[in-house]
Structure 1
């Protein structure tokens, strides 16, 4: 149950008022004939106001969504723009810059999913294993996936579509994946560079139904996944590092990368 202070009242008004306005207009119209004087004026005024309110708020809501979407994309671009510029002119080892880019993109993906969401990027190695390269708020996420989870994720990558998992405990035999024990909702986004698969981005959250297409835009997740794929492919083509030797941040959300073996000891 959300706390009152955590409720987005403005967003709720944008959503609810256009829905109830037609009913309010109809109600006022039915009351006008049976009332006189001041109350008649009230019902007429209220009916007119509610009739105008619905399209006005619907337009405001649409503008608000577009503005929010633009701000979210600006955050992603700004998160990687400086490092991309450094990569373009650098003559040195680009491992650090690529690590920063991947960590920042994973952080953006997690934060878009909400305050309790976490994320991790798993890269495909030469043997089609998925090895963790970057993470945010998921220190205990698997270093690599094996057995059934690996097969399911490879199938998701081959299918190329972004998968939204409303509840990991109720998938009816469909894909179920989590980065932390007990996490109920998740998003699985294949990561590509062009047409070449690079890995998979996984976002998860503790509560069911918290990572839906309505709450976490598919276009946003796809953009982050594409940028991840591009950054990772750049590293592979330049020989900066191999996908079987992933980097991990030195602190959550720090954007700093250090090499790890990518395996559980």
Structure 2
């Protein structure tokens, strides 16, 4: 169940309305055993409704016990309101074509965080290519004879990929998931009109409309270089609430500072 919780978390597939509580409920009800099952919940609406009703009834009973008051009316499954289900199913459907780096991170492979997932997405471009190289690397006596040399990717990550793609049980899980989900190829979007192509960008403070890894991947797709610290080589600082020393250094060096909304406008992603 921990793997399922990770799969739907904000940095991964980020499915609104499918938090840890609902994942636990659907898992314990036998409705969701693998990530692929999440995308077939809509086809099993009666069973989903029943699981939700049973949880609501249990919660109502606990409130009765705590208060000492007995309900006058006990609603049946059919009488209860489940308007939120359509919203949940829509949120699930909206994640059927995730960004490749999000999908790789969502798989929950050991030692592969959001940053490493973005590096792998940029290197292999499609999930099919990552799977192909991963399986060949798993079979190879010397993994370095197959897996390319990638800056930032060492033996720890390569061995984690070998373990994951060398496990036959993961083949079935991944095949079932890819029958439901189609990750977008990682495509660089550099164009002559890109205002940030070739620029060195630093993100600081709290980002409210995207995760830090999403912002980094977005900038890199547009041809920018994302740095972790501000220096004389920095061209632009995107500052959110809580920005501290990096913002101060940027001001001292006379570097342009903009907020998150302005950044989105500049790269044509506003709204």
Is the structural similarity TM-score above 0.5?
A: no
Q: TM-score, normalised by structure 2?
A: 0.29
Bigger share in strand: 1
Q: TM-score, normalised by structure 1?
A: 0.30
**Bigger Rg, structure 1 or 2:** 1
